[in-house]
């Protein structure tokens, strides 16, 4: 018995080897010699067995290349986890306090314009901007920046425009209209207007609003927002120690819920039909045109110039109805009397979900244009109860703002991927959410060139370029452009063609990616002529027979009704479910 115990202690069990070397049971079975079997008599005469290897045999077997590969992988994983922990501890030292300290050194007066859509918030702020220049308008979308650019220049106030897509300098400009990410914090203004400030909580872009509110250098700062943003922004400005006034705005044309829309016969000119995918928008527009309407279509993937052209057609009377996604919710002012929700669910990049209260109110609030309509109406084709409920609710107050990724950490001696991963793993703070680096991580994993201390900041600028990472073709094009820039070469021209609407949209987005990447290295690449050609081609494709876009039952080919959530008609769906032919 003593000899058995001694022998037992000299052997390593399979579990001991797994723990010691970090290898799997499968590798032991494939690459270790046959274990010794030790029989030990226990109490009551029972017997049990134990697999084991002498230590020297185990040490020799562990040298097998496959096992060494796994041991190295485990060591790398442990190092990676340790480094992520160190980086997360480093991030705890970064907070918005640096913004707040700078904000307290500025002498500013704030005016907070609070109200729903179509309440004149932005109008009042812009009226003050007109008489107190130099100034800047900071909005969420190029279309909004373009609208203010046109309005100010038409009013005789020279205004330049600056967005991620283009720069339009105007000689003698006293105002800059731009998207909020391009705010110039080194310039002093008399007046600044920050629009749609409720987006301060957005995890992808909200950090731009936080930074602008804290750091824009202007004597008077007008902040336009939905009511749910007021408590947080009011508290933020109080922390600066600056004076502020709150100006409440009521809707100029009252909004009311008008019930269920039964179908084509209920649609009217000056309606906006809301869907939540490109296919649904194009299909709905095609069906409406078969019923005698002329539809302007607006959706996110449509290039801004093409969207503007669709808006122009509606405003001129060439078209008499609008079919749009939630892209209509911000930055597009149209004389719409009624908003009809054809769909009440949307895909948010991960799953289909019901519309939120904020989305229903933002989109529905586009109904009823002051001076043209006595009131606005909201209807629904499908889940009317949801729209009625959400329209009558108050949106929850914003309790957090988004804080941007701290560029200061790029000087730390850690791999760039780990810096981004650790940022994503940080727990949520009480008052702040962290800017999402998910898209940057996706792009970084498609970047195949070595990242060195010399090019790390450049690579960070490239991976934080706005790219639709759900579209593989655009990610591949981005990687080719980014790798060319790092090699100090000219990025390749886009190659998607113009045969279809989708290829035109990809071509336009690719030009935008190329333009933004080059701008990040100080090169202004004017591709406006190429983009104009694409927009003209899109207009041509939209004028062609729209029947090709109509959604049809994938079994019988019957036209599917507007707002249908499925790709089968009722008859074929019943046949599939019941297993019988109707």
Spans of all domains in the chain? 2-91, 97-248, 272-397, 437-543
- For residues 486 and 450, is the Cβ–Cβ distance under 8 A? no
* pTM of the complete model: 0.81
Residue of 507, 514, 513 lying closest to 532 (CA atoms): 507
Nearest 5°: phi and psi at 192? -130, 140
pLDDT digits (tens, 9 = 90+) for 23-42: 888 888 888 888 876 666 55
The pLDDT value recorded for residue 128 is 96
How would residue 177 be classed by pLDDT, with cut points 50, 70 and 90? very high
Q: How far apart are CA 428 and CA 547, in angstroms?
A: 49
Burial tier of 38 (Cβ tally within 10 Å: 0-12, 13-18, 19+) = middle
Structure confidence at residue 579 as a pLDDT band (50, 70, 90): low
Arithmetic mean of pLDDT over the chain: 87
Instruction: Give me 299's structure tokens.
Output: 């959706």
What mean pLDDT do residues 253-266 have? Answer: 85
Q: Which fold has domain 97-248?
A: Rossmann fold (3.40.50)
The predicted pLDDT at position 224 comes to: 97
DSSP string, 409-457: GGGSSS-HHHHHHHHHHSPPPSSEEEPP-HHHHHHHHT--SPP-TTTHH
Would you tell me how many other CB atoms lie within 10 Å of the CB of residue 577? 9
Give me the mean pLDDT over the 150-157 stretch.
94
CATH number for region 272-397: 3.40.50.300
Using DSSP, how many helices (H) and how many strands (E) does the chain show?
21, 21
Pairing status of strand 432-434 against strand 159-162: unpaired
- Give 139's strand partners: 179
Q: Is-contact 528 305, C-beta < 8 A?
A: no
Assess contact for 130 and 157: CB atoms under 8 A: yes
224 near 196, Cβ under 8 Å?
yes
d(CA 414, CA 425): 16
Residues 398-447 pLDDT 10s: 988 888 898 889 988 899 999 999 999 988 777 788 889 999 999 999 99
CA distance 473 to 71: 37
β-bridge mates for residue 450, sequence order = none
Distances (CA, A) of 284 to 324, 383, 409, 449: 10, 18, 49, 45
Residue 580 has pLDDT above 90, yes or no: no
Same fold yes or no, 97-248 and 272-397: yes
Q: Is the pLDDT of residue 48 over 60?
A: no
CA 379 to CA 341: how far, in whole Å?
Answer: 6
The Cα 221–Cα 111 span in angstroms is: 6
Tell me how far apart the alpha carbons of residues 55 and 59 are, in angstroms, rounded to a whole number.
Answer: 6
Sheet arrangement for strand 218-225: 167-168, 159-162, 175-179, 135-139, 189-194, 218-225, 109-114, 244-248
Query: What pLDDT is recorded for position 166?
Result: 78
Least confident of 82-96, 99-113, 233-247: 82-96
**Torsion angle defined by CA atoms of residues 222, 225, 230 and 236, in that order, rounded to the nearest 10 degrees:** -50
- According to the model, what pLDDT value does residue 171 have? 94
Nearest residue to 401 via CA among 438, 433, 353? 433
What angle do the packed helices 416-425 and 438-445 form, to 10 degrees?
150
């Amino acid at each position: 018995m003593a000899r058995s115990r001694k022998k037992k202690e000299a052997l390593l069990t399979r579990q001991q080897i797994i723990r010691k070397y970090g290898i799997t049971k499968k590798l032991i079975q494939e690459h270790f010699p046959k274990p010794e079997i030790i029989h030990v008599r226990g109490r009551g005469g029972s017997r049990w067995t134990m697999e084991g290897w002498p230590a020297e045999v185990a040490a020799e077997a562990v040298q097998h290349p496959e096992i060494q590969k796994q041991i190295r992988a485990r060591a790398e994983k442990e190092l990676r986890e340790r480094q992520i922990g160190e980086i997360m501890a480093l991030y705890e030292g970064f907070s918005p306090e640096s913004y707040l300290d700078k904000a307290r050194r500025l002498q500013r007066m704030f005016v907070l314009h609070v109200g729903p859509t179509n309440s004149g918030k932005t109008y009042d702020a812009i009226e003050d901007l007109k008489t107190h220049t130099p100034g800047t308008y900071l909005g969420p979308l190029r279309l909004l920046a373009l609208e203010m650019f046109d309005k100010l220049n038409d009013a005789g106030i020279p205004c330049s425009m600056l967005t991620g897509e283009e720069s339009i300098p105007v000689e003698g400009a006293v105002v800059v209209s731009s998207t909020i990410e391009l705010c110039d914090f080194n310039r002093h203004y008399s007046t600044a207007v920050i629009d749609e400030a409720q987006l301060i909580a957005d995890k992808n872009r909200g950090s731009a609003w936080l930074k602008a509110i804290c750091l824009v250098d202007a004597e008077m700062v007008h902040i336009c927002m939905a009511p749910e943003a007021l408590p947080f922004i009011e508290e933020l400005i109080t922390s600066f120690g600056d004076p502020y006034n709150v100006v409440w705005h009521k809707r100029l044309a009252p909004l009311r819920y008008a019930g269920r829309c039964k179908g084509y016969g209920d649609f009217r000119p000056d309606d906006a039909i809301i869907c939540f995918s490109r296919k649904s928008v194009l299909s709905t527009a095609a069906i409406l045109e078969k019923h005698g309407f002329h539809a302007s279509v607006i959706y996110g993937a449509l290039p801004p110039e093409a969207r503007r052209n669709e808006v122009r057609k509606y405003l001129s009377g060439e078209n008499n109805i609008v079919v749009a996604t939630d892209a209509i919710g911000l930055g597009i002012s149209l004389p719409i009397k009624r908003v009809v929700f054809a769909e009440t669910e949307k895909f948010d990049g991960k799953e289909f979900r019901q519309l939120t209260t904020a989305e229903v109110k933002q989109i529905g609030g586009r109904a009823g244009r002051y001076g043209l309509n006595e009131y606005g109406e909201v209807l629904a084709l499908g889940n009317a109860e949801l729209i009625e409920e959400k329209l009558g609710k108050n949106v929850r107050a914003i309790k957090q703002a988004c804080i941007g990724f701290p560029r200061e950490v790029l000087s730390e001696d850690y791999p760039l991927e780990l810096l981004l991963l650790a940022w994503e793993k940080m727990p949520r703070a009480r008052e702040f959410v962290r800017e999402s680096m998910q898209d940057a991580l996706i792009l970084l994993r498609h970047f195949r060139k070595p990242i060195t201390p010399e090019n790390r900041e450049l690579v960070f600028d490239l991976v934080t370029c706005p790219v639709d990472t759900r579209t593989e073709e655009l990610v591949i094009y981005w990687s080719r452009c980014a790798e060319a820039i790092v090699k100090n070469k000219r990025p390749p021209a886009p190659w998607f063609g113009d045969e279809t609407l989708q290829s035109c949209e990809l071509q336009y987005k690719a030009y935008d990616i190329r333009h933004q990447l080059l701008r990040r290295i100080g090169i202004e690449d004017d591709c406006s002529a190429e983009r104009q050609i694409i927009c003209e081609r899109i207009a041509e494709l939209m004028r062609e027979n729209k029947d090709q876009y109509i959604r049809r039952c994938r079994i019988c080919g019957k036209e599917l009704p507007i707002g249908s959530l499925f790709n089968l008609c009722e008859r074929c769906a019943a046949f599939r479910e019941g297993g019988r032919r109707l």
